[in-house]
Amino acid sequence: MAKPKKTAKANKGRKIAFFDTTLRDGEQAPGFSMSAEEKLMMAGALCDLGVDVIEAGFAAASPGDADGVRRIASEIEGPTICSLSRATENDIRTAGRALEPAGKSRIHIFLGTSPIHRSAKLNMSTDEVLAAIHRSVSLAATHCDEVEFSAEDAIRTEREFLVEALECAAKAGARVLNVPDTVGYTTPDEIYDLFSHLIAKVGGTENAIFSAHCHDDLGMAVANSLAAVRAGAMQVEGAINGIGERAGNCALEEVMMVFATRKDLFNVDIDIDTTKIYPASRMLSKMTGNPVPRNKAIVGRNAFAHEAGIHQHGVLNDRRTYEIMTPEDIGLPGNALILGKHSGKHALAARAKELGFEIDDDRLAAVFIAFKAMADQFGEIADAQLIELISGVTGSASAVWRLKRVEMRAAYGAQAEPFARVELEHPERGMVTDIATGEGPIHAAFNAVQHITGMSATVEELEINHVGAKGRTDCIADIVLRINGTRFGGRSRTRDVIPAGVEAYVDAINRAAAAQNRDAFGQEKASTTTDDAKDAA
Ligand code: KIV
Ligand code: ZN
C-alpha cells in the first residue's frame, strides 16, 4: 500500500542530488558521441551548473573511455566523478584506476534484475544475481569513495526480488540504490507506488539513498522522476537536453526548473545555479551537432518567445502574464519577444524604441503594414530586418545585392580544389562576377560574395532544412554572420541547398550594409543583441 503523498512541508530541507549522465548514457546514444576534449569541456559546464555527480563514462568500454574518465577525474573539482561498471572484477578495477585522481569517486555497478534480463541476457538464476551483486559491490567499495548499484530494468523486476537485490547491494556497502526504468515503461502513479514500497521494505538502508533513472520512451521520464522524488528518492539521474539511449533520459534542466519554479509543491534543496542551464545546453547541442527542438521545454528557442499579439501586449505590460520563469533564470540573454506575423503594434513600437527609433502614430501605421507583409514572407523578423524596414519607410536608402547565378565545382579529395563562380546584381554597380576557391563549394561561394561586396564575414551558424508540403520541397537556410564584431542573421527559401545557403549569406551581408548606411545617416547603429536573441535556439 502506497504511503500518503508527501506535502511541501514534509519535503522541506530535503536535499535532492543531481546525477548527470550526459557523458555516459547521453553520449552512448547514436549521433551524440564526443571526443575526450569535448567531454572535458562539457564536464566543466556541468560543474558550473552545480550537478552533484558527473558520470564521466564507462571506463571498461574502451581505452578512450577510460582516458576520458581519468581526465575528468583529474581536472574537474567539486562534483563526485563516477564511472559505470558491469558487475565484473575487470570492469571494477578499470573504473577504480580511471577514477584515482578524483577528489570524490563513485563506481556505478549495474546488473539486470528483471526476468527477461536474467534469462535472455545474463542466463543467471536469482541466487546467482544476488551473489554477483554482493561480490561486485563489496569489491568496488575498496576501489572508490562510494558505490552506486543499479538494478537494471528495475521497473519490470518482481517486487520481492527487487527488494532482495537492493537490500543485498546496501548490505554489501552501496550508498546509492538506483531504480532504473531502463525501457521507459512506467507511469508517475506506478513509480510513486514502487518507490514508496522500496523505501518501506528494503532493509539495511540507514546509510543509503534511493535514486531514480528514467528513460523517455513513453514521454514520461521527467514526470516519473518527479513522482519518485515525491515518494522519497533523494537523487535524480538524467542528461542535459534529455539526451540518452533511444528516446533519451530524463531532461535534467526540466527537473531543475520544476524545483526552482514550483517550490510550493517541491520544497527541496538543490545546489544548482540555474543560470548555467542555457550555456550547458547550448554547448552540448553545438558539440554534438544536434540542435535542440524549437519547442523543447526550458532550453528550446521558443521556450521564452512570445509572438502572438495578445501575449506580447501582456508581456510588455507585465512579464508575469505569460511567463512562469524568466529567460534570465536559465541564463538566456536577450529579448524574448519574437516579431512575426502574429505580432501587434505594441510589440513593434516597443522593439523600434529599443533600437533607437521614436516613431509617431502615422509612421507606425505605415511601418506596421510593411512589417506584416515582410513577416508573411519571412516568418520571423530579425532586428536588422526591422531596422532596414523602418529606414526604408522613413526614406533612407539601403543597397541591396541580389544573387543572380552560382556555379560550382564540388570536388572532394586530397588534391581537389573546390571553387565557385558567383554573379551578384546591385542597383548601382550592376552585375558583378567573381570566382573563388574554398574548403568546399559553399565556402568558395561565400568567399566570392565577400570579394564582390567587400564585406569580410565569418560564418557563426548555418542551418539548412528541407521542408516539404503538397509535393513541393524547399530548402530554408538560416545563417548568422559576424561582421566587424556584430552578428547579422540572413534567411532564404529556395528549391536547393546550395542557392539557399548562398542567398542567406547575401541576405545577411545586405543587412550589414544597411546597418552601415544607417551610420552614414547619423542614426542609431544596429544592436549586437539583434541576432543574439535569434541565436536563442
Ligand atoms: O537505463 C539504465 O538502466 C542504465 C543503467 C546502466 C543505470 O543506464
Ligand atoms: Zn539509462
The domains located in the chain, with CATH, are 14-288 (3.20.20.70), 305-392 (no CATH), 402-510 (3.30.160.270)
Lowest-pLDDT range, 141-145, 319-323, 449-453, 516-520? 516-520
Q: What is the pLDDT of residues 303-319, one digit of tens each?
A: 887 777 777 777 778 87
Atom 2, ligand 1: residue with shortest CA distance: 182
* Assigned C-alpha cell, 169: 547491494
Q: What are phi and psi of 243, to 5 degrees?
A: -75, 160
Residue 372 DSSP SS3:
helix
**340-368 average pLDDT score:** 82
Of 359-363, 451-455, 509-513, highest mean pLDDT: 451-455
d(CA 379, CA 340): 6
Q: Please, where are the H alpha helices in 81-208? A: 89-99, 115-116, 126-141, 159-172, 188-201
Return the percent helix, strand and coil in the chain, to nearest 5. 45, 20, 35
**187-213 average pLDDT score:** 98
For residue 105, the CA-to-ligand 1 centroid distance in Å is 19
Cβ(150) – ligand 1 distance below 6 Å: yes
pLDDT at residue 362 is higher than 90: no
d(CA 204, CA 105): 22
Q: Kindly tell me the sign of the dihedral angle through the C-alpha atoms of 162, 173, 244, 63.
A: negative
Residue 294 — pLDDT band, cuts 50, 70, 90?
A: confident
Candidates 20, 22, 25, 177: which one to mutate for ligand 1, based on the most atoms within 8 Å of Cβ? 25
Cβ(86) – ligand 1 distance below 6 Å: no
**356-366 average pLDDT score:** 80
Selection from 472, 527, 481 nearest residue 501 by Cα: 481
Atom 6, ligand 1: residue with shortest CA distance: 110
Atom 1, ligand 1: residue with shortest CA distance: 182
Cβ(391) – ligand 1 distance below 6 Å: no
The residues facing 18 across adjacent strands are 236
Q: For residue 290, what are the CA distances in angstroms to 181, 284, 331, 404, 498? A: 25, 8, 20, 33, 21
Reported pTM: 0.77
Atom 3, ligand 1: residue with shortest CA distance: 182
Residue 55 DSSP SS3:
strand
Ligand nearest to the CA of 155: 1
Would you state the pLDDT for residue 535?
36
Candidates 19, 65, 213: which one to mutate for ligand 1, based on the most atoms within 8 Å of Cβ? 213
Which amino acid is present at 399? A
* 57 or 477, greater pLDDT: 57
* Other Cβ atoms within 10 Å of 507 Cβ, number: 26
Would you state the pLDDT for residue 388?
66
* 335 or 240, greater pLDDT: 240
CB of 21 closer than 8 Å to CB of 39 = no
Instruction: Identify the DSSP state of 154.
Output: G
Would you state the pLDDT for residue 3?
46
Would you state the pLDDT for residue 531?
37
Would you state the pLDDT for residue 446?
96
d(CA 201, CA 211): 15
pLDDT at residue 470 is higher than 70: no
Residue 228 — pLDDT band, cuts 50, 70, 90?
A: very high
pLDDT at residue 33 is higher than 80: yes
User: What does the mean pLDDT of the chain come to?
Assistant: 87
Would you state the pLDDT for residue 537?
26
Atom 7, ligand 1: residue with shortest CA distance: 150
Q: For residue 1, what are the CA distances in angstroms to 157, 192, 195, 202, 209? A: 18, 11, 11, 15, 21
Lowest-pLDDT range, 249-258, 335-344, 368-377, 433-442? 335-344
Cβ(180) – ligand 1 distance below 6 Å: yes
For residue 396, the CA-to-ligand 2 centroid distance in Å is 59
* Other Cβ atoms within 10 Å of 62 Cβ, number: 11
Decide: residue 308, CB within 10 A, 0-12 exposed, 13-18 middle, 19+ buried: middle
d(CA 306, CA 315): 8
d(CA 204, CA 322): 48
The secondary structure of 231-288 as a DSSP string is HT--EEEEBGGG--STT-B-BHHHHHHHHHH-TTT--EE----GGGHHHHHHHHHHHH
Would you state the pLDDT for residue 54?
98
Residue 106 DSSP SS3:
strand
Terminal CA-CA length for the chain: 45
Cβ(216) – ligand 1 distance below 6 Å: no
**220-234 average pLDDT score:** 98
Lowest-pLDDT range, 70-84, 90-104, 121-135, 351-365? 351-365
Q: What is the pLDDT of residues 160-195, one digit of tens each?
A: 999 999 999 999 999 999 999 999 999 999 999 999
Q: For residue 110, what are the CA distances in angstroms to 58, 288, 391, 452? A: 11, 27, 64, 61
For residue 537, the CA-to-ligand 2 centroid distance in Å is 27
Atom 5, ligand 1: residue with shortest CA distance: 152
CB of 97 closer than 8 Å to CB of 105 = no
* 460 or 384, greater pLDDT: 460
Index of the ligand 1 atom closest to the CA of residue 154: 3
Cβ(213) – ligand 1 distance below 6 Å: yes
Candidates 23, 27, 110, 186: which one to mutate for ligand 1, based on the most atoms within 8 Å of Cβ? 110
Candidates 182, 185, 214: which one to mutate for ligand 1, based on the most atoms within 8 Å of Cβ? 182
Index of the ligand 1 atom closest to the CA of residue 110: 6
Cβ(25) – ligand 1 distance below 6 Å: yes
* Assigned C-alpha cell, 74: 583529474
d(CA 395, CA 363): 11
Residues 6 or more apart whose CB falls under 8 angstroms from that of 91 comprise 59, 60, 85
Q: Kindly tell me the sign of the dihedral angle through the C-alpha atoms of 143, 240, 187, 189.
A: positive
Residue 433 DSSP SS3:
strand
For residue 126, the CA-to-ligand 1 centroid distance in Å is 19
**66-88 average pLDDT score:** 97
CA count, 13 A, side-chain hemisphere, 439: 1
pLDDT at residue 532 is higher than 60: no
Candidates 108, 150, 183, 216: which one to mutate for ligand 1, based on the most atoms within 8 Å of Cβ? 150
**66-90 average pLDDT score:** 98
Would you state the pLDDT for residue 372?
87
Share above pLDDT 90 across residues of the chain, in percent, rounded to a whole number: 60
* Other Cβ atoms within 10 Å of 412 Cβ, number: 8
Cβ(235) – ligand 1 distance below 6 Å: no
Atom 4, ligand 1: residue with shortest CA distance: 182
pLDDT at residue 523 is higher than 60: no
Q: What is the pLDDT of residues 89-101, one digit of tens each?
A: 999 999 999 999 9
Q: What is the pLDDT of residues 105-116, one digit of tens each?
A: 999 999 999 999
* 6 or 121, greater pLDDT: 121
* 285 or 323, greater pLDDT: 285
Index of the ligand 1 atom closest to the CA of residue 178: 7
Index of the ligand 1 atom closest to the CA of residue 180: 3
